[in-house]
Amino acid sequence: MFAVFHATATMFGEIKIHNRNSGFLIQNLLGPISCAMGYTVTDKLQRVLNSAARVITGTQKFDRGLGQILHDQLHWLDVPGRVLFKIAVTVHQCLNGRAPPYLSENCIPVSSADTRRHLRSANRHLLVVPRFRFNTYGRRAFSAAGPMAWNSLPDFIRDPTISTDCFRRLLKTNLFARY
């Protein structure tokens, strides 16, 4: 006997799959582990995301153009894009004082650092990226991954004074333009 699934997709790529018989719900694959994911984890999550997209659209496993369906019809980002989106939104919330202090203290603007205050880059809303010892774990910590993700954004998106909704919209548009 086949289970009947009801699947929906929200604007920011959260997946909600609901089995009417058991009440099973999968939501938001990329919770708090977004920062600390390597390629093996993101590849597995991308396969789950592709499977959910096939359930929603009714396509078969080996049909071509699933990436185009993900981006154009469902408006979902790939897993690395979703990770960058969530990290950048968290940094934006840190800069606007809407994040916990243990996260906000890792987002230090270049303009507030004494040794870098007079650089031309001080006016570009860049963040200080701390040195990290271990290449595998250190760059995945929010203290390094947050500023690196923020500094990788274009200048017009990096403005911390814009509203969160506008920031999310601009960021998602920019990430879709990369495909």
Residue 14 has pLDDT above 70, yes or no: no
How much is the pTM? Answer: 0.75
Nearest to 177, CA basis, from 142, 153, 160, 158: 153
Residue 114 has pLDDT above 80, yes or no: no
Token digits for 106? 């890792």
Region 107-124: mean pLDDT is: 74
Nearest-5° angle of CA 67, CA 61, CA 69?
A: 25
In this prediction, residue 172 carries a pLDDT of 94
Token digits for 15? 């997946």
pLDDT band at 122 (very low <50, low <70, confident <90, very high): low
Between 21-25, 26-30, 116-120, the lowest mean confidence (pLDDT) is in 21-25
> Could you read off the pLDDT of 128-172 as tens digits, one per residue?
888 877 666 677 888 899 999 999 999 999 988 899 999 999 999
In this prediction, residue 8 carries a pLDDT of 52
Q: How far is the first Cα of the chain from the last one, in angstroms, to the nearest whole number?
A: 39
Q: How many CB atoms lie within 10 A of CB 116?
A: 15
In this prediction, residue 128 carries a pLDDT of 86
- Residues 75, 91, 141, 47: what is their CA dihedral angle, to the nearest 10 degrees? -10
